[in-house]
Chain A
Amino acid sequence: MIKIAIDKLAKSFGDDDRRTVALHDFDLSIDDGEFVCIVGPSGCGKTTVLRIVAGLETPTSGTVTIAPGSATGHPQNAMVFQEHGLFPWMTVVDNVAYSLEMRGIGKRERREQVMPFLEKIGLSRFHKHYPRDLSGGMRQRVSLARAFVADPEILLMDEPFAALDAQNKLILQEELLRIWEGSAKTVLFITHGIDEAIALGDRIVVMTAQPGRIKEIVPIDFPRPRSVAELRADPRFGALELSIWRMLEDEVRTARRQEEAAS
């Protein structure tokens, strides 16, 4: 069953005489419960796709259709932002429980719902800390927890691990898979990392340089549950990485030329 149907999506910014076409003719269908990763050179409009699906931006033309879910009272989607997405003035427990607070759930019940989740990701000791007291990895873990506690049908992730060091990234990827597998949530995951996309996704959408279009869609059929670390040692992993890099290489060079021309 198709969960998200994106049809001829286009987005341009700016006035008539200085118009930037960020996105052009973007078509994509995502199945219910599927994990789709989007990779592409910087400025290719991948974040724009995500923001349009999240309803944070309106497309210039084209449509996004989301199949209604069975459960009511849950948000349709929750977004995990790159970094600094946590409210600095709220403690960990308040940040994680934000969606529940917005649904009008009382303080005691919020705590009861959130604490087991913090336990699961090893942050219960820090529930009264403010984000500034946490490391980058812990902060992104809190962001993940906030999105999962909202219990949305669709998870939208905008390079959530981009600012982390290699080891923390690996741990967070493993954790994301562990929480996601069996949750039946549909995921749209934006990343710069080809290896990250292969390790996490069911399919990888490779985008062109600006204006962003789909260049190719690569299915990834490693069985689940996956271990990111073991997957990386698989020779097929390296082969996939190379072939996706070949698709991306020209686009990255084009994007670089565009940037140089603009500056």
Chain B
Amino acid sequence: MKRVNQERALTILSPVAALIVWQLASNAGLVNQRYVPSPLSIAVAGWDLALSGELAQHIGASLRRLVVGFVLGAVPGVFIGMVMGLNRWVRAALDPLVAALYPIPKIALLPLLMLVFGLGDGSKVVVVAMSVLFLTIINITVGVLQLDKIYFDVARNYGTPWPKLFRRVILPGALPTILAGLRISLGVSLVVLVGAEFVASQSGIGYLIWSSWQTLMVEQMFVGIIVITILGVLSTLFLHECERLLVPWRRD
């Protein structure tokens, strides 16, 4: 076998081996099944949840909140960040606001948001949007400010009009930072969403994990943890793919 193939085989084999060890340890009674159920029993629980349609419902609810909240936070965040990066007056005006609001743990605002937006999806969507918004603003501002001055010199020297300056120089120049910032924002929004669903929801993966804990259905709880992990991995992969398509000049 070629070395690359050997490495690839190992990356698949090692988690499988870990699962087998876990299962064997469970069977031998080395792991307390009340806290850590065996992989097989988790799989069975997951299968049951999937068959009943409950799992799809929870995933759907979480995904909807995640996507809507993320877009509601990221789109204005990219826009405000761009303007702040490009215009020193706007930057001077908004910097103190952003600096003051960014460090507030947004989950702390959830009760307040529930007062304003009600107990439904609204409050969860807004709490995700808020945590994404400030992170995105800061990342994009930095991304634009970090653009090498020489690109602006070249653009000016060749008489670049404003719309083209934005489309051909500023946007592509800041794109790597924008995408890296969005990746971080996505991770944060998952954390905030699960937190919000723990305490204030009747659906979603966070609710599944929390309600399973309350009824001591540990297998279901693990199903929820694994599903949210997979969701995190998939969304990161998705953004990586976007990066590959949108930033081809950075490809290694």
Known contacts A81-B150, A132-B249; is A87 also within 8 Å of B157 by CB? no
Q: Is the CB of A99 closer than 8 A to any CB of chain B?
A: yes
Q: Are A85 and B150 in contact (CB under 8 A)?
A: yes
Contact A56 B153, beta carbon cutoff 8 Å: yes
Pair B150/A130 contact, Cβ less than 8 Å: no
Query: Interface size for chain A: under 10, 10 to 19, 20 to 34, or 35 or more residues?
Result: 20 to 34
From known contacts A84-B150, A85-B150, A89-B249, infer whether A56 and B158 are also in contact, taking CB-CB under 8 Å: no
CB contact between A102 and one of B161, B172, B249 (< 8 Å): that residue: B161
In the complex, the answer to whether B154 meets A81 with C-beta atoms within 8 Å is yes
- Whether the pair B173, A102 counts as a contact (CB closer than 8 A) is no
B103 within 8 A of A: no
Per a CB cutoff under 8 Å, which of B158, B168, B173, B247 touches A75? B158
Q: A79 at interface (Cβ–Cβ under 8 A)?
A: yes
Kindly list chain A residues whose C-beta atoms are within 8 Å of the C-beta of B150. 81, 84-85
List which B155-205 residues lie within 8 A (CB) of chain A: 156-161, 164, 168-169, 172-173, 175
Q: Would you call B249 and A99 a contact (CB within 8 A)?
A: no
Please tell me if the beta carbons of B148 and A99 are within 8 angstroms of each other in the complex: no
Nearest chain A residue, comparing its CB with the CB of B176: A89
A2 CA / B134 CA spacing, docked (Å): 56
**Quick one: which of A87, A89, A130, A132 contacts B154, CB cutoff 8 A?**
A87
Which 8 residue pairs of A and B lie closest in terms of their CB atoms, listed nearest first? A89-B172, A130-B249, A79-B157, A89-B249, A99-B158, A102-B158, A88-B249, A102-B160
Binding site for B on A (CB under 8 A): 54-56, 75, 77-79, 81, 84-85, 87-90, 98-99, 101-102, 130-132, 150
20 examples of A-B residue contacts, CB within 8 angstroms: A54-B157, A77-B157, A78-B157, A79-B153, A84-B150, A85-B150, A85-B154, A87-B172, A89-B172, A89-B173, A89-B249, A90-B249, A98-B154, A98-B158, A102-B159, A102-B160, A102-B161, A130-B248, A130-B249, A132-B249
